[in-house]
Structure 1
Amino acid sequence: MGADTSAGTVKDRHERLLAMRAERKLLNDEEVEPAIEDVDNSSLVALLQEFVHLDRGRPRKLTPRTLLIGLYLSTQITGGKVILELVTDILFFRLSPQMRQRLTVPDYPDHDQGFEAAYAVVRRLFHAMRAAIDPSPLPANKRLSREEAQRLAADGDPELLAAREHRLALFTEFVLDASVRPLRGLMNELSDGSLAVDATPIRTFARGRKTNGPELSTDPDAGWYVREGDHRDPDTVPVAEAMRPAAKGKKGPKPKKGRRKKPLLKKRAKYLFGYDAAFAVTRDARHDGVLLEDNTPNPDVLPALVLGVALDKPGQRPAYNGLKILSRLRERGYKPGYLAGDLAYNNSEPNEWQLPVRALGYKPVYDYRVDQLGQQAGAHGAIMVEGTWYCPSMPQPLIDATKELCDERIDRENWLQRIEARKPYRLMPKEHEDADGYQRMMCPAEAGKAQCLIKPHTLGRGIHLPLVDPEPSPAGPLKVCRQGSVTLAPISGAKDWQALEYGDEEWQKVYFRLRNSVEGFNGYAKNPLGEGIEAADSRRIRGIAAQTILLAFQLAHVNRRKIKEWVETLALDGQRPRKRTHHRRRTKPLGRWTPTGYLAPTA
């Protein structure tokens, strides 16, 4: 009797557990339709079908189109993360029979062996897709010796790797374009096309190794990120840089007499092992994100969204990666506007960044290092001061205004006054740039902005215009002073040229709106309660191609989440918004910024 009771209890318990296991939540067909629509409206399927195929053997049991739909659905369930086990569960066991038949998903038994067989199908197809767009000659998941890695890199086919890199770029573009498609028409109508480019570090799902050690990491394409101005690994910095003496005023303790101490090389602390993710974030630079009187967002000011991404080792090739994104954006039909970037970009060689960016139609706005302030270049007698061409007779205090501020020889209020006082000395455009970037620029006196003693017809215009008194020279007046206008080549001052006058109110508005937008987007996407893109656990497949694919789907989810939250906070046609807007932090007013801090508020 006791044995029968025990057997009955076990049987009852097993039945209850089986009932619990059977409670699998299926996805409604209505939840799957948006994924199908996004995939079908993109060019992803055509891109992959051209390269992901089997030359022989049995046909694949899953199509690239179905896999992409599964990846999309995984991000919707996990908040942006792609997990291949979840993709398997969704496609093979959580779709309705009608939807599985529509997507040509084969049936597998609903037990462990069936799941493993289905998972193998998903995994093989994903890695076939990854291999077709992998620009790296180094295999992941192996600790390659440094000699073997060098041999594989040397044996790689440059043309094939370049073709794969192009496919990977196309893949990320199609994924991101699908995420912003609902707003694409409004972007063309309302946005000025301005962008901010920035690289932010993300971890990879691998343990870093010593840079000069005998073995590479299991993610050989990643590197160490250093949380300082130079993000390169200190082990890869040239010896001359490491041996550079410390800055003045930062001397260490004096060694005791009679003892000879070895010179110490201060190593930078390594922060994380992973990649630099270069983003291009769109933001209308003409408007602040200020709320309307009813405390709701302005529907004419679109949210900041990411339009392009590229991965690379930290601190490596920022100009190359940024330019790759920008050139593809132009090919995809996005109009150019202002372009802001940090010091890593405008410290590149002009042929690698500044000139190509201008050729694409973008108008760069930059900040500068301390050693780049003041006069930067000259052409035909005109001088470039902090990115703008001026009359050579502009007073020296105006030329050195920012230098003197940083040296604490003038205060912030004086600096703003000097920046404003530069305007009458600025060379003015006489014509638009031609197709090659050449532009005719007028002397400020000829443009009616100043008066010049060597040009009598410019005198007598009023005391409100400054009087320019060029310094006499045995060679006679400079070309810009002799002529009414001069032609400036794009190469002249190309490294430092920018579209706005450094430091003035318009520059502050454009530069900080764009820079704040990309930094804000980075924080939004890295939020652990959201996509958490910085965390290694959010992308558990190694290699630059796999990391890029998974990151692209995460960023697409970020865009969709931002668009949805923005729409739900709008007050439209007299209706209340669905959700309240988060209170914005108090920000310092634009126009009161200086390179050494903001002006103190006036009473």
Structure 2
Amino acid sequence: MTSRLQRHARIANLRSRRQSVGDEEVQTVLAHLDDCDLIEDVEALVMKWTGRKRNISVRGLLVGMFLASNRNRGSVILTHVADLLAFSLSDTMREELEVHRYPDNDRGFEAIYAVVRRLFKAIVKEVDPSPLPKGRRLDLDVVAELLASADHSELADRRELMLTIANKILGTSLLDAQPLLEETPNGSAVVDATVFGTYSKGLGRESTVTATDPEAGWYVRTTKHKDPLALDGLAPTPSRQQKKGAKQPKEKDRVKKKLYGYDATLIVFRNPDHHGAPLPDGSADPDVVPALILAMSVEKPSCRPGEAAVEALRHVDPRYARNFLAGDRLFNSQSEDIFQLPIRAMGYQPVYDYSKDQLGAHGDIGGAQLVEGNWYCPSMPAELITATHDLVVTETIDQQTWINRIRARTAYLLMPKQATDAEGHRRMMCPAEAKRTQCPLKPHTLGRGIHLPLVDPVPRPEGPPKVCEKHSLTVPPEAGAKLWQPLQYGTAEWQRVYFRLRNSTEGMNGFAKDPLRERIEPGGTRRIRGIAAQTILLAFQLAHANKRKLQSWADAVALNGDRPRRRPTRRRQTKALGTWTPTGYIATA
């Protein structure tokens, strides 16, 4: 039998194998923090003018959090942060980071953990956009009183601070790739909201108290919804079996997924000019930077999606080129003052798909009609106007007929005469003036050949519309802003841009939710309640996902003609893109 002295010696040997952190790694983290000015911003929030000096600096805490994130696949656990700072750094680094020295025993660990926890909570308190206490259930009447007495202007300022800190943490993952991103000419992006859980048990809507994380909400996805959109007002279905004889819900209304947490609105970079497939030799293309998360915002599921998207876009580095911005149907259903006009003011051009009630003609200006996001001639044939409706809703035409009609629309498309001015106005020519059609209302356009369609103007009691009487028409930015997009809907160019961007964000969401990697969806990876703490900890996980994506891409590139360190992930055999969209949206070869 092993003696107690021998057992203690073996246990001491196990305890001595704590992994140390090299000074070079710490210096690398400090350099990244200095480049993004994160330390100065956080120090300004928790600066103390009186009282006893802290046993750890803000600089030390942030370094410890980044080191813990690197070792825990993005997750930041404060116990691990405390252990790294107190017992894994060299004495030189500990002094530089102003971390007090503690004995390597239970009391020493509890002391450093209390110091780390207090400083982190002090930072969270200064950027918390909610007046509600966390960690306990509150009566709804108390919640109403706290919200009514809160200074909402101050809470809005705190939210902006919260997003600034989170996006600077995220931005550290892009510093090494920043020159590559700046050199990308087509700096397009896609906005999407993905759900992630919080470390709190959600309650049903019949409850008279809040959950211990009161700012979170329920995300519910039913089987009739293909897009992962949060549905407002839906409570989770009871986990207990329904009573015998109770009416069963319809198949399309059954809950497929439910989660109590938040929506992370992510801005994902992608250049749609390239497909991103490996080169013929199997290595990655060095000219195609992989999809990366540029910015983020966090909000309650299905709450203020347009505002949250604009908040995230404001934190995109202005040095990156801005071109197309794709989004699912959740975003083009927003009010134009909230989403569509602000993103255009920031330099983005929207690229949308449309729901069934948005197909066909919706809006006009000077007689020109807005059909699925584009301005067309007032006399465009009716079968071309209803082409997508006939394919998707009534199913009276087949895919090839739809493709032919989309192509035929091009002849009736209003063409730009001048570039868009600083205020968003643009002069547009009718298709007859642009030499795409022939129109009896403009005799000088006749006789150009039978290859150009002859417009059949619709008689109007008030006379020809304005666009038919003048050479050009000024289209202001607010005209049809809710559904307008620059690319002609349904064309090959629209398909290339929209689907490549949309596939990028779905792929990035799955990449960050990998259960063996960052696993951002479960709440157990962020065990502190409150939207501020959840946002900051999520930023570390997303930053780790960016760094992992960049590292995988760099390892798969054949540098200087040598073999790559590793091959790109072999693509699995999957269904065609058209499987996930309304019939006919992908043109056949």
TM-score band by shorter chain is over 0.9
The equivalent residue for 1:248 is none
CA shift in 2, pair 1:414/1:168, >3 Å: same
Query: Residue 45 of structure 1 contacts residue 64 of structure 1 at CA under 8 Å; is this kept in 2?
Result: yes
Counterpart position of 2:52: 58
Is the 1:508–1:593 Cα contact (8 Å) retained in structure 2? Answer: no
Residue 544 of structure 2 is aligned to residue 545 of structure 1: no
Question: Which structure is larger by alpha-carbon Rg, 1 or 2?
Answer: 1
Residue type of the partner of 2:539? A
Which amino acid is the alignment partner of residue 379 of structure 1?
I
Query: Matched residue pairs, number?
Result: 572
Say if 1:191 and 1:302, in contact at 8 Å, map to a contact too: no
> What is the CA deviation profile of residues 332-383 of structure 1, one whole-angstrom value per residue up to 9, with x for unaligned ones?
4333110001111100011111111111111001011111101111110101
CA distance, structure 2, for counterparts of residue 79 and residue 494 of structure 1: 42
Residue 453 (structure 1) shift? 1.4
SS at 1:311's partner residue? Answer: strand
Q: Kindly provide the CA deviation profile for residues 224-261 of structure 1, in whole angstroms up to 9, marking residues without a partner as x.
A: 00114562343589xxxxxxxxxxxxxxxxxxxxxxx9
What's the C-alpha RMSD, in Å, of the aligned pairs? Answer: 2.3
User: Structure 2: how far apart are the matches of 1:84 and 1:288?
Assistant: 41
Aligned AA for 1:421? A
- 2:83 counterpart of 1:98: no
Match of 1:139 in 2: 133
Q: Does 1:432 align with 2:419?
A: yes
1:339–1:601 distance in 2 versus 1, CA, 3 Å: closer
Query: What's the secondary structure of 1:344's corresponding residue?
Result: coil
1:509 positional shift = 0.3
Question: What is residue 195 of structure 2 aligned with on the other side?
Answer: 201
1:303 maps to what in 2?
290
Match of 1:246 in 2: none
Q: CA deviation at 1:601?
A: 6.7
Partner of 2:325: 339
Name the amino acid aligned to 2:376.
Answer: Y
Partner of 2:241: none
Percent same amino acid among aligned pairs?
Answer: 49
C-alpha displacement of 1:427: 0.2
User: For residues 143 and 366 of structure 2, what CA distance do their matches in structure 1 show?
Assistant: 51
Q: Take 1:164 and 1:555, find their aligned partners in 2: how far apart are those partners?
A: 22
Residue 115 of structure 1 aligns with which residue?
109
Specify the alignment match of 1:526 in structure 2: 513
Give the letter aligned to residue 291 of structure 1. P
CA contact (8 A) 2:221 2:231 kept: no
Are residue 89 (structure 1) and residue 83 (structure 2) matched? yes
Match of 2:212 among 194, 205, 218: 218
- Residues in 2 aligned to 1:169 and 1:181: alpha-carbon distance in whole angstroms: 18
Aligned to 1:329: 316
Matches for 1:253-402 after TM superposition, within 5 Å? 269=255, 271-329=258-316, 332-402=318-388
**Displacement after TM superposition at 1:142 (Å):** 1.2
Could you say if the C-alpha distance between residues 92 and 574 of structure 1 is closer, same or farther in structure 2, counting changes exceeding 3 Å? Answer: same
Distance in 2, matches of 1:353 and 1:594, equals 24
1:473 partner amino acid: R
For 1:224, give the aligned amino acid: W
Using the alignment, how far apart are the partners of 2:547 and 2:411 within structure 1?
47
The reply to whether residue 24 of structure 1 matches residue 11 of structure 2 is no
Q: Does the alignment pair 1:476 with 2:463?
A: yes
Instruction: Indicate the SS of the match to 1:272.
Output: strand
| 2:501 aligned to which of 478, 499, 514 | 514
Give 5+ residue unaligned stretches, structure 2. Answer: 237-245
> Does the Cα contact within 8 Å between 2:430 and 2:472 map onto a contact in 1?
yes
CA contact (8 A) 1:416 1:594 kept: no
Whole-Å Cα distance in 2 between the matches of residues 453 and 54 of structure 1? 78
What is the Cα deviation at residue 394 of structure 1?
Answer: 0.7
| Distance of 1:236 and 1:456 partners within structure 2 | 63
Query: Shift of residue 295 of structure 1?
Result: 1.6
Instruction: Quote the Cα distance in structure 1 between the aligned partners of 2:561 and 2:510.
Output: 33
Residue 221 (structure 2) pairs with residue 234 (structure 1)? no
1:408 Cα offset (Å): 1.2
Question: How does the TM-score come out when normalised to structure 1?
Answer: 0.91
Query: In the aligned structure 1, how far is the partner of 2:146 from the partner of 2:319?
Result: 38
Measured after TM superposition, the shift of residue 432 of structure 1 is 1.3
Equivalent pair of 2:359/2:388 in contact (CA under 8 Å): yes
Structure 1 residues 30-39 or 540-549, which shifts more? 30-39
1:10 deviates by 2.0
What's 1:556 paired with? Answer: 543
**Cα offset, 1:268, TM superposition:** 6.0
- TM-score (normalizing by structure 2): 0.93
Which stretch of the first structure deviates more once superposed, 524-533 or 181-190?
Answer: 181-190
Q: Work out the CA distance in 2 between the residues paired with 1:497 and 1:508.
A: 16
Per-residue deviation, 1:584? 2.0
1:174-217 CA distance string (max 9 Å, x none): 11221101111111112412110000111100000122421000
Counterpart of 2:437 in structure 1 is 450
User: What are the superposed Cα offsets for residues 266-306 of structure 1, whole Å, 9 maximum, x if unpaired?
Assistant: 97636110011110001012111122121222111101000
Quickly say closer, same or farther: Cα 1:99–1:435, change in 2 above 3 A: same
**Contact 2:219–2:261 (CA under 8 A) maintained in structure 1:** yes
Indicate conservation of the 8 Å contact 1:373/1:403, yes or no. yes
User: SS of the counterpart of 1:573?
Assistant: helix
Structure 1 residue 589 displacement after superposition: 7.5
